[in-house]
Structure 1
Amino acid sequence: MSSKITVIGAGSWGTALANLLAENDEEVSIYARDQKVVDSINQEQRNFKYFPEYKLNSKLRAFSNLKASLESTDLVVISVPTQALTDILAELKNLISPETIVVSTAKGIDEITFKTNSQMIKEAGFENVVVLSGPTHAEEVMEKLPTAIVSAAHSKEAAERVQDLFMSKDFRVYTNPDIKGVELGGALKNVIAVASGICDGLDFGDNTRAALITRGLNEMSRFVDYHGASDLTLVGLSGMGDLVVTCTSMHSRNRRFGIEIGKGKTLLEAKEKVNQVVEGVKTARAIYRWLNSKEIDLEMPITEEVYQVLFESKDPYQAVEELMLRSKKHEMESVVDNSLWKI
């Protein structure tokens, strides 16, 4: 028996997930504010704005009325940017049961409250929250290329329900109880991806990218560990997997944005060039402000340099030079045992 699922947000990722669920023979509604997008899906089986070249599953139905899209729904997938989540939740509270499973797919942190998406969803009154995260470009999911992702939740039952709904021969879903680690990994990797793009825009090489990804993972691990999540989660798909794909692929809007910054464009010019939400920009600012509001010893040099390049007009070459000339460190400070050194 199929489930009734509502996907809120008809951007590239929301459309790809909705189409995947419809291909899995679920009854799927997708909500979009743009009536032209709704009409193109319902009348032409295409999302003209994001995937005009792909024909969508005929079972997928689009709505511009949120209440209508949620009628008799069993599960809700929210696929809107973090900054749009508060408004959506305010509407949802009066339209669905508090027991409804709500799946969060955005990768960001609220700039004002420094809360993750799952925290905001729970505070809105929904306890059954699942985070879906990992190295997943929407374009490749639409092409049915093999993809793996993580379904994270405190409830094993909820995580496995989402796993069952999304699983297919092209889309493998793993479960993970570390919802905070999965979510923070997905947010933080966008900042490192912006840095990777900046280095590419400066015409640095593979050595630079490899070093940045590796040290970026180290920085992410410190942050996740500080917040009580498992740094082992970052070895998985929502950490290292997502970090690698976002730092290396031209599908990555964060990397493409960084490339434009490295080429000398301003923040506004780079945003206009990408013409999509670049979560890494807001996440870098959120983390920088959080770091400077706390009296803690937590080093995040890549994030700090990205912030200064984006918001304080720091020269990208100078930022890289200062990263290279930081004080000497062990590679793995937390595991160094001085007794291991040969004197």
Structure 2
Amino acid sequence: MNIQGKSTTGRENSMRKGREVEHECVIQEQQRVNGTGCDEKAVPTPHPPESEGDTGITMTAKSRRAIYCYGEKQVGPEVGKEIKNRTDMFRHLQISPTGESEWAWAEQAETGGLLAGEVQARLQRSCLAMATSPLKVCIVGSGNWGSAVAKIIGNNVKKLEKFASVVKMWVFEETVNGRKLTDIINNDHENVKYLPGHKLPENVVAIPSLSETVWDADLLVFVIPHQFIHRICDEISGKVPKGALGISLIKGIDEGPEGLKLISNIIREKMGIDISVLMGANAANEVAAGKFCETTIGCRVTENGLLFKELLQTPNFRITVVDDADTVELCGALKNIVAVGAGFCDGLRCGDNTKAAVIRLGLMEMIAFTRIFCKGQVSTATFLESCGVADLITTCYGGRNHKVAEAFAGAGRTIEELEREMLNGQKLQGPQTSVEVYRILKQKELLDKFPLFTAVYQICYEGRPVQEMLSCLQSHPEHI
């Protein structure tokens, strides 16, 4: 595109080719969303904008409406008919065209077509693709897992020109041995409370102010206990750049009036940014020590998942990207409930065979729950990724949920008391997730279909004897 009508350069040809690929991606995405493909006569035919009088979309007789976009600004369907060409569009948006690399567009039909969230995700991706300066990364959370991830990201960004060299990490301020935790991290480069013994890169900067951490971030990594996600999102809503992208490493779910609510959807709705998820068999201390492991990124926009893979992958932290994002996220949440059940069995000294049964039946309940409540696609293959069976096995043998549950079986103390005594300020996810799952299942009258999930909740919070864990296995629907 040459607004002044001058001859096209080689660089412009290259950029035009890039737009053609982008246009093709949008059409393919529309076909995927519609399920059976699109009737060519009913879909706007995209082509690169060529002149001042060209919007970049040729509308056919059966086309319905369009959204024209420039950078982060958007002209919705209600004014689309007023926009006849680029000049009109710029006048409406009160902006001046500063370069064709800033042009982005999306199309939406009255029936079918791209969903609003997917349009927004594509615009965000386009904005990041247009970025001329390195992408700024921030980490929301600084516990055991958050600090391990900070070590990976801090080392990676120093080697990759695409990312800014300084990584901000939000730290909930605490006093440790008379010193502020942020001061310890920034001066000694170690999170002595939550990840002792592992040095953090010097370019990871601990910041006690959440808004100061996120205000200029292009990429946000969320890694906090899921119980706090509403408060955190409410605090930073409207303070994050509109074109930002996020990834959630949070293992948990939420329960509301309509039932199941994924943590990624809470972030997406409250903050208006696209969110990918990362789940896998990743014991934080082993990751921080550089021991080999695998993990899974689930995404709705493949390019966003691949961007986070580039940010996070190392020779010993290998990442697979899949588009079954909701299943990936549910695996990360539900496996913690199963791990509590496995801990109960170990506390009762039931043996390896019984524990194997807990893992197998727990996996079956994870799959069944996901198929019932997941609104998107559910691929059985996703359960074979690191986020599925691998993470389940690791958590049932070595995670904090298993550890506390094993102690609970013979301690005569509450989950909350053991959490305070054993976890040095960290939060358990399994028991809390069992509360949300129990409420969802009860609302849908499905408790009898998920005896393992139900038993974990009742043992943790209703005073049922730990021995009922065995009873639920003996009468499990899988054996009928």
Same-fold call, TM > 0.5?
yes
Number of residue equivalences: 328
Cα offset, 1:234, TM superposition: 1.4
Counterpart contact for 1:151–1:159, Cα < 8 Å: yes
Counterpart in the other structure of 2:386: 237
Change (3 A) 1:227 1:326: closer
Contact 1:22 1:59 in 2 (8 A): yes
TM superposition shift of 1:290: 0.9
Larger Rg: 1 or 2? 2
1:175 and 2:325 aligned: no
Bigger proportion of residues as strand: 2
Where relative contact order (Cα < 8 A, 6+ residues apart) is larger, the structure is 1
Partner of 1:338: none
Aligned to 2:118: none
1:315 aligns with 2:465: yes
Q: Which residue of structure 2 aligns with residue 34 of structure 1?
A: 173
1:304 is displaced (CA, Å) by 0.8
Q: Equivalent pairs: percent with the same residue?
A: 30
Unaligned runs of 5+ in 1: 331-343
User: 1:243: Cα distance to partner?
Assistant: 0.3
Counterpart residue number, 1:270: 418
Aligned runs of 1:3-152 on 2, under 5 Å?
3-24=135-156, 25=158, 26-34=165-173, 36-112=180-256, 114-152=260-298
> 1:187-198 to 2 correspondence within 5 Å?
187-198=333-344
- Note the C-alpha offset of 1:298: 6.8
Moved more, 61-70 or 168-177: 61-70
Aligned-partner Cα distance in 2 for 1:38–1:96: 22
1:296 Cα shift? Answer: 4.7
Equivalences for 1:156-305 in 2 at 5 Å?
156-228=302-374, 229-249=378-398, 252-267=399-414, 268-275=416-423, 276-296=426-446, 299-305=449-455
Mapped to 2, the partners of 1:148 and 1:27 lie a distance apart of 26
- Structure 1 residues 312, 67: CA separation in 2 closer, same or farther (over 3 Å shift)? closer
> How far apart are residue 265 of structure 1 and its match?
2.8
Matched residue type, 2:351: G
Report how far residue 322 of structure 1 moved. Answer: 4.1
Q: C-alpha displacement at 1:297, in angstroms?
A: 8.2
Structure 2 unaligned residues grouped into runs of 5+: 1-132, 159-164, 175-179
Q: 1:280 & 1:266 partners in 2: Cα distance?
A: 17
1:36-62 alpha-carbon deviations (Å, 9 max, x no partner): 221111111111111232221111111
1:236 partner letter: E
Compute the TM-score of the two structures, normalised by the length of structure 2. 0.65
One-letter amino acid matched to 2:380: D
TM-align CA RMSD? 1.8
How many angstroms apart in 2 are the aligned matches of 1:221 and 1:75?
31
Whole-angstrom CA distance in 1 between matches of 2:186 and 2:478: 59
Given that 1:213 and 1:243 are in contact with CA atoms closer than 8 Å, whether structure 2 keeps it comes out as yes
Q: Deviations over 1:308-331 (max 9, x none)?
A: 11111111113313421456736x
Distance 2:472 2:219 in 1: 48
Residues 1:227 and 1:328: Cα distance change in structure 2 (over 3 Å):
closer
Asked whether the 8 Å contact 2:246–2:276 carries over to 1, the reply is yes
- The residue type paired with residue 91 of structure 1 is E
Mapped contact 2:451–2:472 kept (Cα < 8 A): no
Change (3 A) 1:325 1:298: closer
Deviation, structure 1 residue 98: 2.9
Amino acid at match of 2:421: K
User: Cα–Cα, structure 1 residues 58 and 312, in superposed 2: closer, same or farther, change >3 Å?
Assistant: same
Q: Distance in 2 between matches of 1:94 and 1:328?
A: 48
In structure 1, what is the Cα distance between the partners aligned to 2:477 and 2:365?
A: 16
